[in-house]
Structure formats: structure tokens, C-alpha cells
Homo-oligomer: A and B are copies of this chain.
Amino acid sequence: MDRNDLSQHISTQYNEELEDIRSKVMAMGGLVEEQLESAVQALVEMDADTAQRVVESDYKVNAMEVELDEECTMILARRQPAAGDLRLIIAVIKTITDLERIGDEAERVARMAESMAGRAFDKGIMAEMEHMGELVQDMLHRVLDAFARLDVQEAIAVVKKDEKVDIKYDSMLRQTITYMAEDPRMIPLALNMLWAARSLERIGDRCQNIAEYILYLVKGKDVRHTHLDQVLKEMEEERGSR
């Protein structure tokens, strides 16, 4: 085996390592998706068993984060990645932090569902909660898709969708305040519902974070704290100038 073959071999193995990391991020994302889906279901159906399962499975998400974090550190130390590979590793380190926190928020939603299990709540507000849950689940699903396909357009769509979640959250908040004022005995229950809504809203924010890491990964540009309209405009200009 001459030197050329060896470097070819090393490079192939390196590619496999990077591929392995990407597929593990997708697996972690899939698990977090399941956790979120079950948490929303537990909340809407006020079902303690489903809620309990979510709480008990959170350790799996945490374990995957620690494992991926270690793999990324190993690659940084051994492979000394540059350019796009380095951006991938940094994007992964950031993405798994947000995925892990989405898992935590899903666990919070499940804990709220558990504490409200068997109780009845205002049907209109529950319908709003269900819709908010669906919006956030769709955001998470799409941002993971965008990550898998490095799809910038999809990532931008996710960022934009977060506004819908915020609007839904505000509307739900107003209705719940009215509901509490009408029947103060319902305040503790209503607050649990608000905490759950707040967790869903934060999950939307975190999906938005991940979408921004994808833009950074693909475009090599840090778009956090900048106006998305600006990024979109620049991208269109780039396309126009090609």
C-alpha cells in the first residue's frame, strides 16, 4: 500500500466519522420528536401514563447529547477539520445543545400534563394548545429535515414559522387570563397550562436557533441577531449575480 492509498483510506474513514455524526444527530432529533409528540398528546388528553413515559425517557436524549459531544471533541482533536467540516462540527455542537433543551421542555410539558391528569379544562383553550403543539411539532420536523438535506429555504421557512407560534401563544395567554379571572379556583390549573404553553413557545425558539445554525453551516455566515429579511435579500442578490 503506497502513501496515496493510505491517505485515501484515512480520508474515507474521516468521511465516515462525519457521516456517523450527522446520522446520530438525526437519530437524536428523531427521539426528541417522539418525546415532543408524546408530551403534546399527554397534555391534550390529560393522560398521566403517556406523560410518565416522556419523563422516564429523557435520560436517553441526555445520553445521546453527551455521546455526540464527545465524538465532536474527538474529531476536533484528531482530524483538525477546516472550512466546511469545521462548520459542521460547530453546528452539531450547538444543535445538540438545543435538541437536548427541547427534550427538557418536552419533559416539562409532560410534567404539567401529569399534574393535571384527569382534570377538565376549558375546551377552547385546549384546542388552542393542541394547535400550538402541532405548529411546534411541525417546526421541529422541518428543521430536522432541513438539517438532513442542508436545505436553506426550509431553514428560513422554519424561522418564519416561529412568528405563528408566538401569535398563537399570545392569543392563548389572553384567553387563559380571562378564564382565570372568571373562576379564580382554576388559577393553579390554568398556570400549569400556561407553563406548558410557554415551554412549547420556547421549543419554537430553539427550532429557530437550529435553523440559524443550518444557515451558518451552509452559507458560512453567522445570521444570529441579524434581520432575516437582510439575509434573504443578500441571498437573492447572490442568486441574481450568478
Is residue A181 contacting chain B, with contact meaning CB distance below 8 A?
Answer: yes
**A86 partner, pick from B62, B76, B184, beta carbons under 8 A:** B76
Least Cβ–Cβ distance between A208 and chain B, in angstroms: 13
Which one of A22-30, A42-50, A65-73, A134-142 is at the interface? Answer: A65-73
Least Cβ–Cβ distance between A123 and chain B, in angstroms: 21
Least Cβ–Cβ distance between A75 and chain B, in angstroms: 11
Q: Could you list 7 examples of A-B contacts with CB < 8 Å?
A: A62-B225, A73-B86, A177-B191, A180-B180, A180-B184, A181-B187, A187-B187
Determine the chain B residues whose CB is within 8 A of the CB of A76 once the complex forms.
76, 86, 90
Query: A225's closest neighbor in chain B, by CB?
Result: B62
Least Cβ–Cβ distance between A60 and chain B, in angstroms: 11
Determine the chain B residues whose CB is within 8 A of the CB of A87 once the complex forms.
73
Most buried by B among A69, A177, A187: A187
Given A62-B225, A66-B222, A181-B185: A86 touches B93 (CB 8 Å cut-off): no
Is residue A224 contacting chain B, with contact meaning CB distance below 8 A?
Answer: yes
A59 to B222, CA, bound (A): 15
Is residue A232 contacting chain B, with contact meaning CB distance below 8 A?
Answer: no
Is residue A241 contacting chain B, with contact meaning CB distance below 8 A?
Answer: no
Is residue A97 contacting chain B, with contact meaning CB distance below 8 A?
Answer: yes
A150 to B6, CA, bound (A): 42
Determine the chain B residues whose CB is within 8 A of the CB of A97 once the complex forms.
94, 97
A93 to B76, CA, bound (A): 14
A93 to B225, CA, bound (A): 17
In the A-B complex, list the 7 residue pairs whose CB atoms are closest, starting with the nearest.
A80-B80, A62-B225, A181-B184, A184-B184, A180-B187, A66-B222, A181-B187
Is residue A148 contacting chain B, with contact meaning CB distance below 8 A?
Answer: no
**A69 partner, pick from B177, B180, B222, beta carbons under 8 A:** B222
Residue contact A66 to B188, C-beta cutoff 8 Å? no
**A66 partner, pick from B80, B173, B184, B225, beta carbons under 8 A:** B225
